[in-house]
Structure formats: structure tokens, C-alpha cells
Structure 1
Amino acid sequence: MNYTNNYYLAEQMKIGNPKAYDYLMHSFYQKLCAYAYTLSHDHGTAEDIVQNVFVEVWLNKKNINPVFSIKNYLYKSVYNEFINQYRKSKPVYCLEKKYLEAVDIEVENTYDNLDELVKLVNKEINCLPPKCRQIFLLNKKEGLSHIEIAEYLDVSMKTIEGHMTRGFKILRDRLDDKMKTVFFILFG
């Protein structure tokens, strides 16, 4: 069994061969930890990142595309996991806290039925054209930048900007004034 062959390794991973997974771990774990350390500057965080990536690889093994380089996929996954962890741990600044407190007070005083309004806004978002909805949610709910979305979907920045502009226009046209406030609170 020649696991050094990318195509063969990917095919073995897809069928759930534990030896292929062991080979992948043995071949890349230390290198990926070193790479993650250059991003995080913390050994524990670096190991957490790499472990999360390997868990995701195993859980999503059926989606591995044998045409693409597993090595490149692993390194890109480590980078993406670092970004995700960075976003989760990023502190909320004092001004943002004050803004959020003011929004909470406004919401409590203005809307008795906030959950219903949020459902209506989400319903309108789900009515967006599929690609537009996907890009909008990656940006507004997942917090990805336009550049990250363009790389993730392998499309141009102009495409991302066009879909975002279209999404905002459609939502502005469909939402009444009360829902526009909820939309602003949820998505800025």
C-alpha cells in the first residue's frame, strides 16, 4: 500500500481505512503543529488546532477529493481553524460593549415580540437566491471576510461583492421598518 500517492491516500481515506488515517497523522501531525505554532505562538493552541483539523478530516472523510492535494488541504484547514479560534477568543472592546448594552436596552424597550421578528428576518434571508444566501450567511453569520469567502468558494472578489450588494438590496426591499431595525441589530 503506497500512501505516498495522493490519489491512493485520498481514496483510502474516503473508504475509512484507519491505516491511511494513521499514515496521515504520522506524516503531517508534527509539521502541522509547527505551522500552527507560527500562527498562534502557543504550543497548546497549536496542538488543539491540529487535533481539531484531524477530527474534521476523519468526520468528513467521504468528502475528500482525490484530485486535490491532501497536504495543501491540511495546511489550509489549519489556517482556517486558527482564524476560527482567533475570532472566538478576540476580546470585545469597551466601545463595542457599550454599543451592545445600548442595543439590548433598545430591544427590551421596543420589541415585545423580538423572537418573532428575528424569525421573519431569517425567513427573508432564506428566500434569497441560493448562492447569494450562502455568501451572505458566510459573511454575516460565520464572520468570514470577503477575501476568505472568495478563497473558500474559489470565486472572484467582484462575485462576492455583487452577491452581498444584491442580498442587502433584496432584504431592504422586503423588510418593513420594524424588521429593518432587527436586521441591523443582527447583521450591522
Structure 2
Amino acid sequence: MNKEFSNPEILKRELEKGNQRALTFLIDTYHQPLCVYIYSLSNDYEGAQDIVQNVFIKVWTDRQKLGRVKSLKNFLYKSVYNGFIDQWRKDKRMLAIESKHLENLNEIIEDSNEDLLKIKIDMVRHEIDNLPEKCKETFLLSKQEGLTNIEIANFMNVSIRTVESQINKAYRLLKQRLSSADVVLKIFAVLSTLIYS
């Protein structure tokens, strides 16, 4: 471990300058304790790692603003806590959405024969194939491959915000193109992860 960065003020200055060794020191010092802290709140180790990694990416991206930070350690803990709260709110919304999707799936299974269901799924698949290339690739990495947004960002060498934007764009375009058939939208909502399997 590099002792020259042990002083928090020196560490902040070097991070602001873009010193990658300072970033390595920061991650080596704080990654494990931050993961343990978030895991203690969430009981989700992979989710904790994602939150912590997102914070390190944001620290590096916004390193020019570190001069305003009084305590780097406090800032990191507050940032991962805020990340945990944001994720908790998203998960809470997703649970409500998933519950609705299960209801929709039950309706589809009850109301549709097998041939009709296949036709509707093919319609959704066709519209996904017609998405803009980057949008389609991002969407499939998320829904077909099951990658997290941060994994997609690393794989495609783009920001997490770009990944989120592309996935939202895919949903918006698919909703527009399939808006004439309510049941197709239900199928899309429920089976978006399955239609390429």
C-alpha cells in the first residue's frame, strides 16, 4: 500500500489531479469496509459491491469537486448510504411492478391459446430487432444476458447513465410501436427477459 497517500488531504489533491495510483489507494483502503457496511444494511453482497463500485466511479468522474469535501472517509460512507437508499427505493418500486407483471402473465396464460401467444411474442421480438443498434445491444445485455447496468457500462466502455438512457429509450420505443395492442404490452412487460431464450 502506498504510504504517500495516507494523509487524506494529499490523497484528495492527488485524486483531483487525476493520479490513478491515488485512486488505487482509495479503493484498496475503502472498498472492503464500504462493502461490509452496505451488506450490513442490505444483506445483498453483490448489490453492495455494485453500490460501492458506482460510488468509486462517481468519485473519479467528479474528482475536480473533491476540494469541497471536508472528510473523504465521511463522504464515501454518506455516498454509499445514499446509493443504498436509492437502490432500496428502486427495488420497492420494482416489487410493485413485478407483482403487476405476474398478474398480467396469469391473464395472458388464461386468455391466450399457444399459437396466439407465439404470434404476440414474435411481434415483440421483431420490434426489439428493429431498435437502433446501440439501444438494442444495451437492452439485450440487460434483459437477455442479465447483466447489471455497471457490468454493461464496463463491457461497452460507456457511462452507467448512458446504459440507463439506452434501456429507457428501448422501453419507450417498444411501448410506442406496440401501443396498439394492450395484451402485447403485457407480454412485453412480463417476458422481456425470455423472448430470446
Bin for the TM-score computed over the shorter chain: 0.3 to 0.5
Q: TM-score, normalised by structure 2?
A: 0.44
